Chains A and B, each alone.
Chain A
């Protein structure tokens, strides 16, 4: 057992690289070390928060002046039940590692986000969703049990059956109910490591929504990349990619010899120093144009490798640095079915504001999830990246928040770095229950984060 306190404070930020703060970074390599680290942090007076691979965009996994528990030191897979499709592993195990280990056995993770480089703890903490949300719901729905170290220092085995309150407060609870030490996750059987994909272009936003509403149910995975820089009649033009794991019979004889091979490649990282303003409306507009034109008008049943389908950005390590020193924010919101007009208005406003936003992602969510602070609602979710240095961006996003909240929607905390605190209760109706539960399990407020301080979570 070893808790190695870093000699100097470490500067920590989220994936968007905005608002870095200093903390004591501890990297427990056993459950006992995690318990000791939490106890030590409680005495320090500024608490602790768990951190996975730091893929949350904002300040969720940082804790100014206190401790941050880097959970990637806890990365053992304890048990794989290859008959029933279950894995028991430490919370610091990444989905990348799970894929490497499980695919050859014919199993896949139940939900994957747009990057494989997230931990199981982070997947539960943010209750992440994937391209299969309309079919499978969020990640935590596939979690049978968690081992949770709560703020009072107790380690508890929490299941949705025995302790639904603590379980569903933890799912999406952004690490604030406790440190997840381990989890039991249900898996999805697959015959191959390839995807069978249909691609089509949508000419504008209404065309896109119509296509998604009409035929999404036929696909396990569905997502649309939308060009927010296109204006006028082309506003909201998009490329839809939808598909499922390819069955064995879809492979040719050669591919069938090793149908479960998983070999993701990576390109070199971008250079250390990026000129300011590399991403402007012209360069990004050109990129979006090429992307749209490159996509086939329509293609059916094309076989694609798994990383290319799910995690195209993972091919470029540290791509977040292309935004330069100022970093970037991701704005992701959801509005319910029937609120299409709000979505149209927001898409038009973003197009008109001149923000150089790369391809944004639009997805149709299925039913909402039981997590108290889980993000998904049945409806439409849009996510886009914007350089933080863009003047006036703060005020623009505040106005979009108003639209979203007025339509009964919400923004995603795992992506947030700038929400106004009073918006939170409007967007998350179970906030009071969440606060009350935290007070019960963590009377001294040991678990806290910059996100929690900023939003008075």
Chain B
């Protein structure tokens, strides 16, 4: 169960090697988390992540999970919930894709959409109804500022996050009053392996800053969290910007 400060005792991390996800897991282990399920595609990195969390004193289990294979989600995630209550689910998987390349390779673009949007829709629905049966728990979904307004340089990824963001808000409304808290997290540029080698955007931040914001959001039962918080007014302005002007921005 979560305590009065929203600190979960059990955590399911979808995208078990995500740097943001693992930074969050480490932070929550510092509070109340004692059991962590790392769900992801089997790899040495996934096993290594579990070992690192065990070294912090948590019980860490690895679960094979592929966002691109939604037919298996019900079974794979169902098994996790059958072992006991999950207090928080963190949906952190995602791919950035390669915009320039993917524009020429529709199949690759579809992979981005299938991972970030369709895979997340499936996993979030499975987890959402399991949380609803428990009558408690938080579903935290990593969206992105890229979904706020699609940019020329990044609209394949951006549109997948826009869809995920809208979907998650709707799911939050559907689960309202069912004891389930759904939270959308919209980070800006975060320095992780996903963004490695790319030019930093203004207000760039770190996985541990995102983790801190997630912990605070759990405490406040927030529905939307921006990281850093200053992005909220910035993006509000960008959303209102006329198209011709927006198009000319070096984004």
Contact = CB atoms under 8 A, between A and B. Distances in A.
Interface of A: 8-9, 11, 16, 18-23, 46, 58-59, 63-66, 326-327, 329, 388-389, 391, 393-395, 417-418, 420-421, 450, 453-454
Contacts of B7: 394, 418
Interface of B: 1-7, 9, 31-32, 85, 132-136, 177-180, 216, 219-220
A65 B135 contact: yes
B1 A64 contact: yes
Given A22-B177, A22-B178, A66-B135, A420 B32 contact: yes
8 contacts: A19-B6, A22-B178, A22-B180, A63-B135, A326-B220, A394-B3, A394-B5, A418-B4
A406 to B, nearest CB: 20
Leading 9 A-B pairs by shortest Cβ distance: A22-B179, A65-B135, A64-B135, A417-B4, A18-B4, A64-B136, A454-B1, A21-B136, A22-B135
Contacts of A58: 4
B1 A388 contact: no
Nearest to A456: B9
A53 B179 CA distance: 20
Given A65-B133, A65-B136, A326-B220, A19 B3 contact: yes
A84 B4 CA distance: 44
Given A65-B179, A388-B219, A19 B2 contact: yes
B11 to A, nearest CB: 15
Contact of A454 (B9, B132, B179, B219): B9
B1 A329 contact: no
Contacts of B133: 65
Given A22-B136, A394-B5, 15 more contacts: A8-B177, A9-B177, A11-B177, A18-B5, A19-B136, A22-B135, A64-B179, A65-B133, A65-B135, A327-B4, A388-B4, A395-B31, A420-B32, A450-B136, A454-B3
Contacts of B5: 18, 388, 393-394, 418
A19 B4 contact: yes
Nearest to A20: B179
B4 A329 contact: yes
A389 B3 contact: no
A377 B176 CA distance: 42
B127 to A, nearest CB: 15
A19 B135 contact: no
Contacts of A21: 1, 135-136, 179
The majority secondary structure among interface residues of chain A is loop
Contacts of A389: 219-220
B179 A11 contact: yes
Contacts of A23: 135, 179
Contacts of B2: 19
A95 to B, nearest CB: 26
A16 B4 contact: yes
Contacts, number: 78
A168 to B, nearest CB: 27
Contacts of A420: 32
A450 B179 CA distance: 12
Contacts of A16: 4
B53 to A, nearest CB: 18
A394 B8 CA distance: 12
A46 B216 CA distance: 29
A325 to B, nearest CB: 8
A314 B15 CA distance: 50
Contacts of A394: 3, 5, 7, 31
Contacts of B132: 22
B31 to A, nearest CB: 6
Contacts of B136: 19, 21-22, 64-65, 450
Contacts of B32: 420
Nearest to B32: A420
A9 B179 contact: yes
**Most chain A CB neighbours (cut-off 10 Å) among B2, B9, B31, B32:** B2
A391 B7 CA distance: 13
A59 B179 contact: no
Contacts of B177: 8-9, 11, 22
The residue in A16, A64, A418, A421 that gathers the most chain B C-beta atoms within 10 A of its C-beta is A64
A429 B139 CA distance: 37
Contacts of B134: 46, 64-65
A97 to B, nearest CB: 30
B182 to A, nearest CB: 13
Nearest to B132: A22
Nearest to B9: A454
Contacts of B6: 19
A421 B87 CA distance: 15
Nearest to A326: B220
Nearest to A388: B4
Contacts of B1: 19, 21, 59, 64, 450, 453-454
Contacts of A8: 177
A420 B32 CA distance: 7
A254 B175 CA distance: 60
Contact of B85 (A19, A20, A393, A453): A453
Contacts of A59: 1
A319 to B, nearest CB: 18
B3 A9 contact: no
A393 B2 CA distance: 15
Nearest to B177: A11
A9 B135 contact: yes
Contacts of B219: 326, 388-389
A455 to B, nearest CB: 9
Most buried by B among A9, A19, A418: A19
B128 to A, nearest CB: 13
Contacts of A421: 9
B135 A417 contact: no
Nearest to A389: B220
Looking at B136, B177, B178, the one whose CB has the most chain A CB atoms below 10 A away is B136
Contacts of A326: 219-220
B134 to A, nearest CB: 5
Contacts of B216: 391
Kindly name the residue among A20, A22, A453 whose own CB sees the greatest number of chain B CB atoms within 10 A. A22
A395 B3 CA distance: 12
A323 to B, nearest CB: 12
